[in-house]
Structure 1
Amino acid sequence: MSTYNFTISDSALRSACEFHNIDISDNEDEMILFAIRGALPAAEGISLLDYSDHTKFESEHLLQRVKVNYYYPRCVIGQWLPSERKIAIFPASTVPNLKVVQRNKKKKHQFNCMQPGFYNYRKGQHSGSNSGFQPHRALRLQSKITFRRANFTLQNKQPVIDYGPSAYIGTGNPGDNIHCARNNTRTTKVKALKGQDFSYSFCMSDYYSSYGCQVIVGCPEQYIPRGQKSGNWNAWEEFIGNVYDHFAKEQQNFKYLLIDSFNMQKIAEATSTDIDLIKVVHGSSGPLVKRLQEGLQKMRKSSTGKPYYSGTIDGDFGANTAKALIQFQKDMHSGKAYGYANEATFKSLGMSLATPV
């Protein structure tokens, strides 16, 4: 098996929540949505598996860690039924598409990249009005998030976008909904990517439409071009059908866990508590969040003498805690910020994460 392959399951997702101080006790009887940035379906013997095998609810699915390239869907978005301990996986993207950014007349730094965290969505229409482009039933962002914006540049006439630690990071609700990627059978043709050892037969490639929204490969059936048919390529129809018509028919609100594949693989393979895997992120709650808030409240800005955090010590990592943490990290790391707190962050606040997960 490839060293980049890992198994995603109910137990792995529960471990991810524990390591990230995320409480799902109120959501055990609901569908929880999750996304893994930089991952695709995988199987032993080939690099990538026909993703239609992963859209069925099973106890576990095999994934492969891949590099996000902002051109092709290189993420998965999943549906998790904690009460049944089952998950389904759908090919997706959690980052903007470079082709879309390049064509857009807006300023090229206005395209969001949602940062890992635990967020809130609600059933609703995308794009929010009947006059919008291809309005369809979807999931609408209901909470403030932590997100990055980065400058769009050309290098050797090729578009480049960078969402690294030096890129702008802030909080708010930019309307990054979960909707279809607006694919059809012509834009989901499989192609081999140059320089990457993927199976030609199963490599998902080509266009997806996103300015920063979370998108699932496929298209609502009413927008499929005449003469074409829905099929295994149309993961969106199965995803949204599960949400509206089947497994979550009566549910209105959905939690959404976003994590990158490197951390997810480490957590899935962890055999004991590893302090390096513990993080406090947007949407975390509990004692470690309280300690973070207390630490940020005690620390003073050199420019004003005021505390970084002046809100309530409530143990809930929301927008105010995120803003305080971001500013503290920028001051400590020459303008670089990560938007989450790990052991290094706690040490810089004069504390330690050495608390059982």
Structure 2
Amino acid sequence: MIIDADILAELCNFYQYSLTEQDYLFFAVRGSLPEAVLHGDFVEATKLKAYQTIRRTRVNYKTARCTIGLWDVKNSKLALFPGSTVPSKKYLFTHASSIATFNILCPGRYELRRGVHPRNEHGFQRHEAFLMDGYGLVEIPPVERLTHTVRFDWSQSVYTVVLAGDNLHAARTEPRQDQPDLAGSIMLKMNYSSSGCMTILGQPKEYVRSNRTYTAWNGWQTFVDLVNEVGADKKNFTFLLFTFSDFENKNQTSSGSLIRYGSQGPEVVQIQQKLTSIIRLSTGLPYYTGPINSLFSGHTAMSYVVFQEDYSNGKIAPEIQTCKFLSSTKHFHAS
């Protein structure tokens, strides 16, 4: 699958993500890897180019199965890095306390800032990273701890809006000293460190255990160096999370656009107005009581989730087809 700036812009238009005054963006494609990486060439994918190629992969919550990208909007170029946008089952098993706070970030538009991960000053291997301070829409399936791993109960997943804290940081993966320098196949088999954060394969240079700090396997350090090169003075970055299916279905727009977390525009106003007009029986208050600001995030998104919980028979979707939503709620009388 070829991706380029035009395709990304088309998807942003479809999901109503604002690109006003954006020069560099981060993005991710869940369920994919750069084609070059799958052929063992970590270097080629990380070059800023007019177009890149990705291939569908099955997310397994064990090894890297996502693509993280840097989008140079001004010059219409992309660089890609192998990583993950979901929690690691091994990490959750070995860090049992993290099960209480883990999450799976839903596709959408989010904001990151430069900072240090982990935030705790006594945390393991603190390094320069990109932090999510705001709210996000997440999926949380119940977790069963087994003998050697954990298992998700997808049938009982819940959606909620929380301060997810899903930072973008290093996966803390590194080949052994005796392994090849260009260890593509080895890196793709390694477990990553995450309870829900986005990660890029590799190590911060200060923690590399060998003398190969800037070698081909270290996607994380290559990513940080590239960000510092093209956006040295930039402190805040928009992060767009897609799925591979988004690229496959990008031409199927006959039913109109979809609203996801971070969407902004007149369709969101319609959703806010509808949720303002419907009274929740258990509270006697409207589902939405915030400002009509055209932004599907925070209180708006949570109001929609609560409404879905009350009326969807458990079939909650993390995105909205506006026409369908308005049609299905037309029998609700205005308050």
Q: TM-score, normalised by structure 2?
A: 0.89
Distance across 2 between alignment mates of 1:34 and 1:290: 26
Query: Where does residue 200 of structure 2 map in the other structure?
Result: 216
Note the C-alpha offset of 1:205: 2.0
1:350 paired to 2:330: yes
SS in 2 for 1:326: helix
Query: Where does residue 20 of structure 2 map in the other structure?
Result: 25
**Compared CA separation, residues 157 and 203, structure 1 to 2 (3 A):** closer
Note the C-alpha offset of 1:227: 5.6
Out of 79, 86, 89, the position equivalent to 1:95 is 86
Query: Where does residue 60 of structure 1 map in the other structure?
Result: 51
Out of 239, 242, 252, the position equivalent to 1:256 is 239
Out of 281, 291, 310, the position equivalent to 1:331 is 310
1:132 paired to 2:123: yes
Q: CA RMSD in A?
A: 2.6
Out of 265, 275, 283, the position equivalent to 2:255 is 275
Query: Where does residue 178 of structure 1 map in the other structure?
Result: 168
Distance across 1 between alignment mates of 2:245 and 2:40: 20
**Compared CA separation, residues 250 and 228, structure 1 to 2 (3 A):** closer
1:8 paired to 2:3: yes
Note the C-alpha offset of 1:154: 5.0
Distance across 2 between alignment mates of 1:88 and 1:349: 43
Distance across 1 between alignment mates of 2:39 and 2:325: 37
Distance across 2 between alignment mates of 1:48 and 1:328: 46
Distance across 2 between alignment mates of 1:207 and 1:146: 25
Q: Which moved more, 1:69-78 or 1:48-57?
A: 48-57
Equivalences, count: 327
SS in 1 for 2:21: helix
Query: Where does residue 232 of structure 1 map in the other structure?
Result: 216
Aligned partner of 1:36: which letter?
V
SS in 2 for 1:285: coil
Out of 266, 275, 278, the position equivalent to 1:287 is 266
SS in 2 for 1:186: coil
1:128-180 deviation digits (Å, cap 9, x = unpaired): 25422111111111321111222222579753224x47412211223211110
**Compared CA separation, residues 104 and 201, structure 1 to 2 (3 A):** closer
Q: Which blocks of at least 5 consecutive residues in structure 1 are unaligned?
A: 1-5, 191-199, 352-357
Distance across 1 between alignment mates of 2:218 and 2:133: 26
Q: TM-score, normalised by structure 1?
A: 0.84
**Compared CA separation, residues 202 and 186, structure 1 to 2 (3 A):** closer
Q: Which moved more, 1:78-87 or 1:34-43?
A: 34-43
SS in 2 for 1:118: strand
Query: Where does residue 242 of structure 1 map in the other structure?
Result: 226
State whether residues 98 and 195 of structure 2, in contact with CA within 8 Å, keep that contact through their aligned partners in structure 1: no
SS in 2 for 1:108: helix
State whether residues 116 and 259 of structure 1, in contact with CA within 8 Å, keep that contact through their aligned partners in structure 2: yes
Distance across 1 between alignment mates of 2:146 and 2:313: 25
1:35 paired to 2:40: no
**Compared CA separation, residues 165 and 313, structure 1 to 2 (3 A):** farther
Aligned partner of 1:205: which letter?
K
SS in 2 for 1:171: strand
Distance across 1 between alignment mates of 2:118 and 2:99: 21
Distance across 1 between alignment mates of 2:155 and 2:294: 25
Distance across 2 between alignment mates of 1:201 and 1:306: 55
Note the C-alpha offset of 1:225: 1.4
State whether residues 77 and 91 of structure 1, in contact with CA within 8 Å, keep that contact through their aligned partners in structure 2: yes
State whether residues 187 and 217 of structure 2, in contact with CA within 8 Å, keep that contact through their aligned partners in structure 1: no
Distance across 2 between alignment mates of 1:336 and 1:262: 20
Distance across 1 between alignment mates of 2:226 and 2:86: 23
Q: Which blocks of at least 5 consecutive residues in structure 2 are unaligned?
A: none
State whether residues 93 and 145 of structure 2, in contact with CA within 8 Å, keep that contact through their aligned partners in structure 1: no
State whether residues 173 and 187 of structure 2, in contact with CA within 8 Å, keep that contact through their aligned partners in structure 1: no
State whether residues 117 and 167 of structure 2, in contact with CA within 8 Å, keep that contact through their aligned partners in structure 1: yes
State whether residues 285 and 316 of structure 1, in contact with CA within 8 Å, keep that contact through their aligned partners in structure 2: yes
Distance across 1 between alignment mates of 2:309 and 2:156: 9
